Structures are given as C-alpha cells and as structure tokens.
Structure 1
Amino acid sequence: MHAVIESLLTGLPYLLLHLTVTLAMLAVGAWLYEKITPIREVDLIKAGNVAAAVSYSGALLGMAIPLAFCMAASVNVLDIVVWGVVALALQLAVVRLVEAILGGLWHRIEADQIGPAILVAAVKLSVAAINAAAVSG
C-alpha cells in the first residue's frame, strides 16, 4: 500500500499540470472557434437554439478528443503544447473548410435547423478521431 501512496504523491503534480495545460488549451480553442465563426453559438444556445448546441458540442468534443490523445501520448508539457497546437489548428481549419463547402451553413444553424448542425458536428467528430490517431501515433 505504501508504494501506491508514494506513486500517487509522485505522479499527482504531473497529472494536475498536464490536465491544467490541456484544459487551458481547450479553453483557448473554444475561444478561437467563437472568433472564427460568423455566428455566436454560445449566445444562440443561451437563447434556446438546439442546432447551435449540437454544432458547438461537436466543436468542443472535436477539439477535446485530439487534445486528450496528445496528453495521453505526451512525455512532457512541451509535447502536449506542440502537438495540441497542431491538433487545434487542424480542427479549426476543418471548420473553415466545412463552411466553404456547405455555403449558408451558419445561417441555417442560426435558424435552428438541426440537420445541418448534426452534419457539421459529425464532420468535426470524424476529423477529431482521425486527428487524435495521427497526433498520438
């Protein structure tokens, strides 16, 4: 039992540091996402827009998944930051690409059309899965 406690005490500071850095990166990613999209999804969600909630949830999960894999495969904080920045940049680029391919997407989400929101969330999550495998591989 003593070895378990010793291991916990040794590893806990690293866990907390890695967790804090990764959560901070997710917060920055969420902030950047809000800045690059032409609508304010958080405001729409507060007003009861379900399509915005679906789209924004896809964006958050789409960023969190590769960040989690970065943290799991990392050897130190710098590793998390470098690969996390790459993963976030890829996820944010996908948002712009989807916007270019699906013209009028944001207006449809703003109008609370759930179909386009589900599609865009699925694209974000699909890319996140591939992105996570690539950054941790």
Structure 2
Amino acid sequence: MLFSPEAFPLQNLLSFAAYFATAAVLLFVFQWIYTRVTPYDEVALIKANKAAAAVTYGGALIGFVLPLASVIAHSVSLVDMAVWSVIAGTVQLLVFFAVRLFYPGLSASITANELAPALKLAFVSVAVGILNAACMTY
C-alpha cells in the first residue's frame, strides 16, 4: 500500500483542502480589492504589455501572500487565518497609499510604464510583506 492511514490520515488532506481553498479565495478577494483601489487599471495595462503595472501588481500580491503563508502555518483555525489575512491585506493597501504620499506622481508613472517607480512600490510591498509575515509568527 502506497499510503497507510496512519502515515497519511484523510483529515490531513481535508485540512489542506480547506486552508488552500480559503487562501485562494482570500487571494482572489485581495487582488480584486487592490485593482479597485488603485487609480489605474492594472488588467488593461498588463494586457497592453505595460511592465510597470505587472511589477507593482506582482509586488502587492507577493507582499500579501508572504504573511498569508505565515498565518496558514501558525493559525489555530480557518477563522483565525481569515482574520489575520484581512489584516495582511489592509497593510498592503496602506503600503500603496503610503508610497503614493512620498511619490505623488506614482500612478501617472505606472500608467506611463516607467519601471523605476514601479519597482520602488513593488519592493516596498514585498519588504513590508516580509515584516508583516514575521510579525504574524505568534
């Protein structure tokens, strides 16, 4: 027998499926909110081959998924995971608004496909995501 019930109980598979499905939904919700909050249309810009939009969008997603992964590893329940994931998403949205305070022309730069400001936002998003993930290891 490839897997004995003792080595791989069905409960583990069910827990994996529940956490993965919940995480996928949370990721979808985050990206949906993120694309509605930013003043430019990431989807249209990415379809138009504008790398700056793809870089910022990717940085935000990674910045959200890093703490999400930490929360999955450390949460005590799906509800606990969901609550902390909402906090992680909120932090990422705040990162976007904070960077825009210091770079007032950021949105126009991304729309114009300027990579340096896009990379700045992406790197700040990932850096804050790493800090956020570290803070969620309780």
Q: TM-score, normalised by structure 2?
A: 0.93
Amino acid aligned to 1:124: S
1:118 paired to 2:119: yes
Gaps of 5+ in 1: none
1:13 CA drift (Å):
0.6
1:86 CA drift (Å):
1.0
Normalized per residue, the structure richer in helix is 1
Distance 2:53 2:91 in 1: 21
Contact 1:109/1:117 (CA < 8 Å) preserved in 2? yes
**Which position in structure 1 is the counterpart of 2:11?**
10
**Which position in structure 1 is the counterpart of 2:56?**
55
Amino acid aligned to 1:68: A
Task: Give me the identity figure in percent.
Answer: 37
1:44 CA drift (Å):
0.1
Contact 1:87/1:135 (CA < 8 Å) preserved in 2? no
**Which position in structure 2 is the counterpart of 1:74?**
75
What is the root-mean-square deviation in Å for CA atoms of aligned residues?
A: 1.0
After superposition, give the CA deviation of every residue in 1:77-122 in whole Å (9 maximum; x if it has no partner).
0110111111111111111111111111010011011111111100
Distance 1:25 1:130 in 2: 20
**Which position in structure 2 is the counterpart of 1:32?**
33
After superposition, give the CA deviation of every residue in 1:54-90 in whole Å (9 maximum; x if it has no partner).
1111011111111111111111101101111111111
Q: TM-score, normalised by structure 1?
A: 0.94
